[in-house]
Structure 1
Amino acid sequence: MEIRRACLLLIAFVFSYSSSADSEPVWRWECISGTCQKTRITNETRDSALSLPACQLFCGEYGRLWPQPTKEYYTGNYLLHLNLNSIDLNYPQDKKSTALANLAFRRFAQQLRGLVPSGKSTRGGRSLVVNAQVEDPDIIRLTYATDESYILKINELSDGRVNASITSNTFFGARHALETLSQLIIYDDIRNELQIVRDASISDSPVYPHRGLLLDTARNFIPIDAIKRSIDGMAASKMNIFHWHITDSHSFPFVSKSRPELTRLGAYSSSQVYTEDDVRDLIEYARVRGVKVLPEFDAPAHVGEGWQDTGYVACLNAQPWMDYCVEPPCGQFDPTKDGLYDVLEDIYGDMVDLFEPDVFHMGGDEVSNSCWNSTESIVSWMSTEKSWGRTATDFVKLWDYFQSKALERLYRKTSSNIPIIMWTSGLTESENVTAYLPNTTYIIQVWTTAFDLQIIELLQRGYRLILSNYDALYLDCGFGGWVQGGNNWCSPYKGWDVVYSNSPALIAGTYKEQVLGSEGALWTEQVDGASVDGRIWPRLAALAERLWAEPSTGWKAAEERMLIHRERLIGMGIAAEALQPQWCLQNEGDCPAPGRALESAAVKRV
Structure 2
Amino acid sequence: MIQRCNEIMATTLAVTSLLLGVLLPSPVAAFLCIKEVNNGIAVLVTLNQCKLTCGPFGVLWPQPQTAKLGADVVEFLPTNVFLTPLITDEVLPLLLEAFDIFKGNLEKHHPHYSSGSAPWSSHWSPSSAIHGVEVKVQVQGVETFLTLHTNESYELHIHTDGDKTTATIIAPNFFGARHALETLTQLVEYHENRGTLMIVRTASVYDVPAFKYRGLLLDTSRNFFSVAAIERTLDTMAANKLNTFHWHITDSHSFPLYLESLPNMAFYGAYTPSQIYHPHDVRHLVQYARVRGIRIVPELDAPAHVGNGWQWGETHGLGKLAVCVNKEPWESYCVEPPCGQLNLANPNMYTVMAKIYKELAQVFSPVDLFHFGGDEVNLNCWNTTEEITSWMTANNNSLDADAYYDQWGVFLNKAQKLFTESNNAVEVAGIVTASSLTVADRVEQYVNKSQFIIQMRVIRTTDPIIGELLRKNYRLIISNYDAWYLDCGVGDWLGEGNNWCSPYNSWQTVYDHSPHDIATRQTGSSRSDQIVGGEAAMWSEQVDESGLDAKRLWTNPRTNWQPAETRFIHHRQRLVKRGVQAERIQPEWCYQNEGACRRQQPLLPVLEKCLP
Q: What's the TM-score, normalizing by structure 1?
A: 0.91
Partner of residue 97, structure 2 = 103
Question: How far does the alpha carbon of each residue in 1:347-368 deviate from its partner, in whole angstroms, 9 at most, with x for none?
Answer: 0000001112121100000000
Partner of residue 437, structure 1 = 447
Quote the Cα distance in structure 2 between the aligned partners of 1:397 and 1:599.
66
Question: How far does the alpha carbon of each residue in 1:526-575 deviate from its partner, in whole angstroms, 9 at most, with x for none?
Answer: 111111112xxxxxxxxxx1111111111011111110000011111111
Partner of residue 586, structure 2 = 580
Contact 1:58 1:603 in 2 (8 A): no
Quote the Cα distance in structure 1 between the aligned partners of 2:50 and 2:279.
47
Could you tell me which amino acid in structure 1 is paired with residue 74 of structure 2? Answer: L
Contact 2:221 2:248 in 1 (8 A): yes
Determine helix, strand or coil for the equivalent of 1:115: coil
Residue 412 to residue 294, structure 1, CA distance change in 2 (3 Å):
same
2:408 to 381, 399, 413: 399
Partner of residue 292, structure 1 = 295
1:519 lines up with 2:538 in the alignment: no
1:457 to 455, 468, 482: 468
Quote the Cα distance in structure 1 between the aligned partners of 2:478 and 2:278.
30
Could you tell me which amino acid in structure 2 is paired with residue 602 of structure 1? Answer: C
Number of residues paired by the alignment? Answer: 567
Partner of residue 132, structure 2 = 127
Quote the Cα distance in structure 1 between the aligned partners of 2:611 and 2:272.
57
Structure with higher RCO (Cα < 8 A, 6+ apart): 1
1:340 to 343, 349, 365: 349
Partner of residue 109, structure 2 = 115
Residue 23 to residue 361, structure 1, CA distance change in 2 (3 Å):
same
1:501 lines up with 2:512 in the alignment: yes
Q: After the TM superposition, which residues 192-341 of structure 1 pair with which residues of structure 2 at under 5 Å, given as runs?
A: 192-310=195-313, 311-341=320-350
Most deviating of 420-429 and 79-88:
79-88
Quote the offset at 1:126 in angstroms.
1.2
Determine helix, strand or coil for the equivalent of 2:596: coil
Instruction: Give me the CA root mean square deviation.
Output: 1.6
Contact 2:515 2:533 in 1 (8 A): yes
Contact 2:53 2:72 in 1 (8 A): no
Quote the Cα distance in structure 1 between the aligned partners of 2:388 and 2:55.
64
Quote the Cα distance in structure 2 between the aligned partners of 1:600 and 1:416.
59
Q: Which runs of 5+ in 2 are unaligned?
A: 1-7, 21-30, 113-117, 314-319
Quote the Cα distance in structure 1 between the aligned partners of 2:172 and 2:489.
42
Quote the Cα distance in structure 2 between the aligned partners of 1:323 and 1:459.
33
Quote the Cα distance in structure 2 between the aligned partners of 1:370 and 1:599.
67
1:353 lines up with 2:362 in the alignment: yes
Quote the offset at 1:497 in angstroms.
0.3
Quote the Cα distance in structure 2 between the aligned partners of 1:405 and 1:145.
27
1:75 lines up with 2:75 in the alignment: no
1:87 to 75, 81, 84: 81
Partner of residue 16, structure 1 = none
Q: After the TM superposition, which residues 168-187 of structure 1 pair with which residues of structure 2 at under 5 Å, given as runs?
A: 168-187=171-190
Partner of residue 146, structure 1 = 150
Quote the Cα distance in structure 2 between the aligned partners of 1:394 and 1:600.
70
Question: How far does the alpha carbon of each residue in 1:207-260 deviate from its partner, in whole angstroms, 9 at most, with x for none?
Answer: 001001000000000111111111111111111000000000000001112111
Quote the Cα distance in structure 1 between the aligned partners of 2:568 and 2:544.
25
Could you tell me which amino acid in structure 2 is paired with residue 86 of structure 1? Answer: N
Quote the offset at 1:51 in angstroms.
1.0
Residue 523 to residue 376, structure 1, CA distance change in 2 (3 Å):
same
1:61 lines up with 2:56 in the alignment: yes
Determine helix, strand or coil for the equivalent of 2:134: strand
Contact 1:60 1:600 in 2 (8 A): no
Could you tell me which amino acid in structure 2 is paired with residue 502 of structure 1? Answer: H
Quote the offset at 1:125 in angstroms.
4.6
Partner of residue 38, structure 1 = 35
Q: After the TM superposition, which residues 382-393 of structure 1 pair with which residues of structure 2 at under 5 Å, given as runs?
A: 382-385=392-395, 387-393=396-402
Determine helix, strand or coil for the equivalent of 2:528: helix
Quote the Cα distance in structure 2 between the aligned partners of 1:406 and 1:81.
57
Most deviating of 333-342 and 403-412:
403-412
Could you tell me which amino acid in structure 2 is paired with residue 73 of structure 1? Answer: A
Quote the offset at 1:93 in angstroms.
5.5
Quote the offset at 1:25 in angstroms.
2.6
Partner of residue 25, structure 1 = 11
Could you tell me which amino acid in structure 2 is paired with residue 319 of structure 1? Answer: E
Determine helix, strand or coil for the equivalent of 2:218: strand
Residue 600 to residue 552, structure 1, CA distance change in 2 (3 Å):
farther
Residue 41 to residue 603, structure 1, CA distance change in 2 (3 Å):
closer
Partner of residue 160, structure 2 = 156
Contact 2:56 2:68 in 1 (8 A): no
Partner of residue 421, structure 1 = 431
Could you tell me which amino acid in structure 1 is paired with residue 147 of structure 2? Answer: T
Quote the Cα distance in structure 1 between the aligned partners of 2:111 and 2:62.
25
Contact 1:92 1:98 in 2 (8 A): no
Partner of residue 7, structure 1 = none
Partner of residue 374, structure 1 = 384
Q: What's the TM-score, normalizing by structure 2?
A: 0.90
Quote the Cα distance in structure 1 between the aligned partners of 2:39 and 2:279.
61
Quote the Cα distance in structure 2 between the aligned partners of 1:473 and 1:67.
17
Quote the Cα distance in structure 2 between the aligned partners of 1:164 and 1:51.
23
1:363 to 332, 352, 373: 373
Contact 1:497 1:555 in 2 (8 A): yes
Residue 260 to residue 592, structure 1, CA distance change in 2 (3 Å):
same
Could you tell me which amino acid in structure 1 is paired with residue 145 of structure 2? Answer: R
2:558 to 534, 552, 556: 552
Residue 601 to residue 199, structure 1, CA distance change in 2 (3 Å):
farther
Contact 1:60 1:601 in 2 (8 A): no
Quote the Cα distance in structure 2 between the aligned partners of 1:207 and 1:183.
20
Contact 1:188 1:194 in 2 (8 A): yes
Contact 2:58 2:69 in 1 (8 A): no
Contact 1:556 1:592 in 2 (8 A): no
Quote the offset at 1:391 in angstroms.
1.1
Quote the offset at 1:289 in angstroms.
0.6
Determine helix, strand or coil for the equivalent of 1:583: helix
Quote the Cα distance in structure 2 between the aligned partners of 1:599 and 1:315.
68
Quote the offset at 1:419 in angstroms.
1.1
Could you tell me which amino acid in structure 2 is paired with residue 488 of structure 1? Answer: N
Quote the Cα distance in structure 1 between the aligned partners of 2:351 and 2:472.
33
Quote the offset at 1:468 in angstroms.
0.5
Quote the Cα distance in structure 1 between the aligned partners of 2:163 and 2:131.
7
Residue 110 to residue 24, structure 1, CA distance change in 2 (3 Å):
farther
Determine helix, strand or coil for the equivalent of 1:428: coil
Quote the offset at 1:600 in angstroms.
4.9
